[in-house]
Structure 1
Amino acid sequence: MAVTLGDVARHAGVSLATASRALNGSARSVTEGLSAKVRASAEALGYLPNAPAQALARSSGSTIGVLLHDVADPYFGGIARGVGDAAAREGLLSLVVSTDGDPRRELEAIRTLHAHRARAIVLAGSAYTDFAARRQLDEALAAYQDQGGRVVAITEHGVQYDTVDVRNEGGATSLTYALQQLGHRRFAVITGPERMQVAVDRLDGVLAGLRETGLELAEGMLQRSEFTREGGQAAMARILDVARESGTPLPTAVIALSDICAAGALAELRARGIAVPGDISVAGFDDIPLATDLAPALSTVRLPLIAMGESAVRLALREPGAQRDVNHAFAEVVLRDSTAAPRTD
């Protein structure tokens, strides 16, 4: 039977990834000592290198893959626009893949981009909180990197990736403070699904801002939904129903941790004849273009979405270094007509 790369790795006492880098000429370096050890094992076992694998490791394609949850979501649309513009300036093509927030689809996309020799992969969707899913994705990305591919994450996906760091938690805390400064003390929060790390980070930011001033959410005033308009509307309905059924006062401010969710919340309040901001103030997060077109215009946390995509491409095209590169995308609170001081009781 033919000797495999796995046989060489076991003989040399190294990982399969290290053996691949040593023999296939990957752009990621291996120390000379380990490289010599692997080459000696290959010679001793009579291993014949895989020429197509070597060609893959030494070449780079003209495509940058962008993995995101939903291209129809303006948040991801802005990032994809930034990636596409920056890639085009370098003579490269961006390929956008919507995964619907499903780690299995993301895993398939990574493997497909690897097989088609994409030069880089930009992880534009949120990281997953499920450990097993993250481990599978990390393993697939490690195999891709071992053959010369570059990976850049927008938001934190792990210390092994160059990253465009988005201040999700800090932005949510700043928004909470801003609403408190208007006089709000009764809050409700519409957050995203627990499987998405970005939802966890933003919610942590809001809760930290409340704790700092001795406030907490009343029972039923935290509702989870998908980051969609429909999800935001349904979550807003649950908040109103809980308040009515329990006889507790309505919140004076609702923080929806995505602008799309906030649009749904506004629709539900409008349908029930509840004035915004007269009865309840509403704020979102992201500052998508739609935010200024809503009625009333939406207060939110502004993220530089297009610039985030451009920054990811710049990181992807740099020479890899010994330490990961991190670019920061700062969040800015923008107060518009959907928020005001609460009415006095």
Structure 2
Amino acid sequence: MTLHAVARTAGVSPATASRALNGTTRVREDLRARVLEAADLLGYIPNAHAQALASASSNTVGVICHDVSDPYFAAIASGVMRAAAERGLLVMLASTFREPAREIAYVSALRAQRARAILLIGSGFEDRAWERAMSTELEGYLRGGGRVAAVSRHRSLRVDTVLPENRAGAAELARALLALGHREFAVLSGPPALTTVADRLAGFRGALAEAGVPLPAGQVVGGAFTREGGYAAAHELLARGVRPTCVFAVTDVMAVGALAAFRERGLRVPEDISLAGFDDIPLVQDLSPPLTTVSLPLTLMGRSVIALALRESRGRRSRVERIGGEVVLRASTAPPSPSAERTPS
């Protein structure tokens, strides 16, 4: 079914029918009603690409995250999608799998498709080449009327940002674990190029230093920001002969993997070793034992980032909305037991 058929049925010109359907130009209400009635009768579906070209913007919001299978990103994306649905917007979701070049390519593609807004969900990269390339893409998109907002990044990108207090949250967690009596710590860390990893590790290490508790480099083990990464990092930690009373995984999904690794080595959590994470993804309350973590309002963060991107009064200055985390002590952490046998089998 074509636009010309809709125009003939409604008794208007094709140009009037087009304007009535895309809503970019004022059309008399009686004519608009006739066109919409004809379109409904004929089952006409407007060409979204043509409408985007006509209006210089589509009703699509692009969401670019590291990995939508990660519950952290899934929860934030859920908030975005709910808020977008309330505004009659379509969400296009893409995962970069933490590949900087892929992220830039997705921004370029959304820019070419004239997406109404682009949301960057997840940590930025400590990479000057990436910063320059991403800034170039975003500046061109913004000059063309596009809107951009981010979650949990970007020291160099001048865009509206929902910023979790990663450093402060990790520091508060360290203080809570110190208050339980722990003095021997290890950290399962993610890729050092990610700003979130750098901030959480720095906050945790800084709070320990304030209490006079060292965190030697050999007790920080890197791994992928995944369940498998946490599992491998925990095994590596034990293989090094490190005997902490408490382990901090910089993200909950890594902590889930670590919990499995400790069990395989015959270690009980928290009797032999305490374990804590960060984010409070939904599943950690159902673990056995439930995970101590820093709770972030993930769904709310999704709603907040799309609201920032679509806000009317933008001006020239970007806005930063800071989101605090709350330490939640659960059964995976307990005071260290002097008599506990922590040597892995």
Q: What is the TM-score normalised by the length of structure 1? A: 0.81
Match of 2:298 among 302, 305, 309: 305
**1:339 lines up with 2:330 in the alignment:** no
- Find the residue that maps to 2:262 and give its secondary structure: helix
**1:216 CA drift (Å):** 1.1
**Structure 1 323/56 Cα, relative in aligned 2: closer, same or farther at 3 Å?**
farther
In 2, the alpha carbon distance for the partners of 1:85 and 1:219 equals 43
**1:223 lines up with 2:221 in the alignment:** yes
Per the alignment, residue 19 of structure 1 pairs with: none
Per the alignment, residue 33 of structure 2 pairs with: none
Per the alignment, residue 139 of structure 1 pairs with: 136
In 2, the alpha carbon distance for the partners of 1:135 and 1:166 equals 24
- Find the residue that maps to 1:190 and give its secondary structure: strand
Match of 2:272 among 265, 279, 282: 279
1:37-116 matches, within 5 Å, as 59-116=56-113
Per the alignment, residue 118 of structure 2 pairs with: 121
8 Å CA contact 1:188–1:222 kept in 2: the answer is: yes
**1:269 lines up with 2:269 in the alignment:** no
**1:194 CA drift (Å):** 1.2
8 Å CA contact 1:101–1:125 kept in 2: the answer is: no
8 Å CA contact 2:135–2:157 kept in 1: the answer is: no
Report Cα offsets for 1:152-208 as digits up to 9, x if no partner: 011231351011011001000000000000000000001110121111111111111
Report Cα offsets for 1:284-304 as digits up to 9, x if no partner: 000001111111110000011
In 2, the alpha carbon distance for the partners of 1:332 and 1:180 equals 16
- In the TM superposition, structure 1's runs of 4+ consecutive aligned residues that sit over 3 Å from their partners are 55-58
What amino acid sits opposite 1:337 in the alignment? A
Structure 1: tracts of 5 or more residues without a match: 1-54, 244-248
In 1, the alpha carbon distance for the partners of 2:216 and 2:321 equals 37
In 1, the alpha carbon distance for the partners of 2:227 and 2:135 equals 31
In 1, the alpha carbon distance for the partners of 2:218 and 2:333 equals 22
1:5-44 matches, within 5 Å, as none
Per the alignment, residue 42 of structure 1 pairs with: none
Per the alignment, residue 324 of structure 1 pairs with: 318
Report Cα offsets for 1:10-55 as digits up to 9, x if no partner: xxxxxxxxxxxxxxxxxxxxxxxxxxxxxxxxxxxxxxxxxxxxx9
- Find the residue that maps to 1:144 and give its secondary structure: helix
What amino acid sits opposite 1:290 in the alignment? L
Per the alignment, residue 195 of structure 2 pairs with: 197
**1:98 CA drift (Å):** 0.2
**1:295 lines up with 2:288 in the alignment:** yes
What amino acid sits opposite 1:322 in the alignment? R
Q: Judge which range, 323-332 or 287-296, deviates more.
A: 323-332
**Structure 1 208/57 Cα, relative in aligned 2: closer, same or farther at 3 Å?**
farther
Length, aligned pairs only: 287
8 Å CA contact 2:131–2:157 kept in 1: the answer is: no
Per the alignment, residue 175 of structure 2 pairs with: 177
What amino acid sits opposite 2:295 in the alignment? R
In 1, the alpha carbon distance for the partners of 2:144 and 2:53 equals 7
8 Å CA contact 1:57–1:147 kept in 2: the answer is: no
Report Cα offsets for 1:122-177 as digits up to 9, x if no partner: 11021000111111011111111110000101123135101101100100000000
In 2, the alpha carbon distance for the partners of 1:83 and 1:219 equals 38
**1:56 CA drift (Å):** 5.8
Per the alignment, residue 236 of structure 1 pairs with: 234
8 Å CA contact 2:295–2:325 kept in 1: the answer is: yes
**1:218 CA drift (Å):** 3.5
**1:60 CA drift (Å):** 2.1
8 Å CA contact 1:58–1:148 kept in 2: the answer is: no
**1:57 CA drift (Å):** 10
**Structure 1 58/93 Cα, relative in aligned 2: closer, same or farther at 3 Å?**
closer
Give the superposed CA RMSD: 1.6
In 2, the alpha carbon distance for the partners of 1:92 and 1:174 equals 38
**1:58 CA drift (Å):** 6.4
Per the alignment, residue 342 of structure 2 pairs with: none
8 Å CA contact 1:159–1:324 kept in 2: the answer is: no
- Find the residue that maps to 2:218 and give its secondary structure: coil
In 2, the alpha carbon distance for the partners of 1:57 and 1:250 equals 64
